[in-house]
A = this chain, B = another copy of it.
Amino acid sequence: MRAQTRRLSFGQTELDGTDIRILQVLQDEGRISKSDLAARVHLSNSACFERMRRLEQSGIIRSYHARLDLDLMEDLQIFQTHVVLGSHRQEDFTRFEAYVAANDMIAECYGLGGGIDYSLTCVARRISDYQGLIDDLLSRGLNVERYYTYVVTKQVKRREIGIDRLLG
């Protein structure tokens, strides 16, 4: 009774409907017990465990995380910063991304196409801390031509980006 309808290939790995269901459940309930997961996808514990291990080892499941309630965190400011670089050589991108990777005030970074090069989500305790980040960013010779700062006034929604849309 393997194989439902839909199949997808993720890099080297082939996924059937049951794998996708497992990923969906784990995306939403990252700490569900393996027995409950097995029941949820109508598999025995051992079969489900084997699939889960395969998904983790293949790298499709990268990591698990607890999500905290930001509204309860006072003393926490979030900013979005949109960055335009002055030139678009490979080296410019590499250096900027290395900076992003190393700076732990920057929680998220998307590379964009179309007028803005990067969108950053920055976390700071005070506006002055954020300004310190920007000062640092600009002083590193990273060729930032322009940047735009937006205060995040509300975190309206946050979900994992993933598998759901592949099923419709």
Contact = CB atoms under 8 A, between A and B. Distances in A.
Chain A interface residue bracket vs B: 35 or more
A31 B76 contact: no
A111 interface: yes
A72 B59 contact: yes
A161 B70 contact: yes
A150 B116 contact: yes
Contacts of A118: 156
B27 A165 contact: no
Interface string A107-146: 1111111111011010111000100000000000000000
A44 to B, nearest CB: 21
20 contacts: A8-B75, A23-B68, A26-B65, A30-B63, A61-B68, A62-B68, A65-B65, A70-B161, A73-B166, A76-B166, A78-B161, A107-B159, A109-B157, A111-B153, A112-B151, A113-B150, A114-B150, A115-B148, A121-B161, A124-B165
